[in-house]
Structure 1
Amino acid sequence: MSNLRKLVLQSFKKLHRTRIKVFEGDEKALTAARIKINDEYRKNKHVKDEVAIKAMVKFGEDVERELKTQVIQAREIKPGVYEARITEETLKLDNIPYNENAVIEDETTGPRPCCQDKAQTNELSK
């Protein structure tokens, strides 16, 4: 088996494993994700260009990482109350409260301070 074919199959299997983990218990999402993954790989199985294949494998890895870190499941346990299933891999950011003084009302030019700057600085320092 060629190395490229092996990479594609590993990517395919990894996406399906992640799909099962992320959408555990949600048959509708599991089915939709399975169909989408299979369709995308089937649609591109004719591609022969090595650079294009590597780019698609990289894209698959990026999608897998996004699923692991950005997607959470939430279910309503009683009216208006939801329970979220957050895993160790879920990206967790600091909740920064609104600061009305963050935007200066003067005539200075250049970039203005933003509450997101603090969040990005905190994330980089971890």
Structure 2
Amino acid sequence: MSSCRSRVLAALKELHRTRRVVFEGDDHALQVTKQQIRDEFRKNARETNQSKIEEAITLATDVAKLLRTTVVQLKQKEPGSDTFEMRVTKDTVLPENTMFDPRVELPEQPRRKKCADSPTMPSANTSNHS
């Protein structure tokens, strides 16, 4: 059981380390994630079912990996500006940036009808009494 306890504590520490790296400089996100981690671990603190504990450990490590590899931070360069600076970490996985080839023929998308193009429907409130 002490092995299990040490693995739970290791997962907890990993989540806290990850949140500090991923949300560095964002006090609000740091506080919210800290509380969320505490709440989730406390909710499961009295769990004795070994398989549920293993699931929780796996979930914690998966969440830490997902945060490290997918979350980026954007910070507005100047107030009111449309320019942002993106902060990525060494673990962030960015998709390959492929250049657009202007010679490629794109399939033509059929135009969707606008409401004005649709036939007029008779009102449901009108009655056709002769």
Identify whether the pair has TM-score above 0.5, normalized to the shorter chain: yes
Give CA deviations for 1:42-95 in whole Å, capped at 9, x if unaligned.
Answer: 001111011110111000000000110000111000200000111110001113
**Cα pair distance change 1:104/1:27, threshold 3 Å:** same
Q: Deviations over 1:81-126 (max 9, x none)?
A: 0001111100011134567746699xxxxxxxxxxxxxxxxxxxxx
Q: Tell me: CA distance 1:104–1:2, structure 2 relative to 1, closer, same or farther (3 Å).
A: farther
* Counterpart position of 2:89: 87
1:74 counterpart SS class: strand
Closer, same or farther: CA 49–101 of 1 in aligned 2, 3 Å: farther
Letter of the 1:76 partner, please give it. Answer: Q
Q: Which runs of 5+ in 1 are unaligned?
A: 106-126
Q: Distance in 2 between matches of 1:6 and 1:102?
A: 55
Structure 2 SS opposite 1:40? helix
Write the distance in 1 (CA, Å) between the matches of 2:60 and 2:4: 14
- Map of 1:36 onto structure 2: 36
SS class of match (1:20): helix
**SS of the residue 2:77 aligns to:** strand
- Tell me the amino acid that sits aligned with residue 36 of structure 1: Q
Change (3 A) 1:102 1:59: farther
Q: What does 1:45-124 align with in structure 2 at a 5 Å threshold?
A: 45-78=45-78, 79-96=81-98, 101=105
The gaps in structure 2 that reach 5 residues or longer are: 110-130
Going by fraction, where is helix more abundant, 1 or 2?
1
How many residue pairs match? The answer is 105
**Alignment RMSD (CA, Å):** 2.1
Q: Which amino acid aligns with 1:73?
A: Q
Q: Percent identity?
A: 34
Partner of 1:122: none
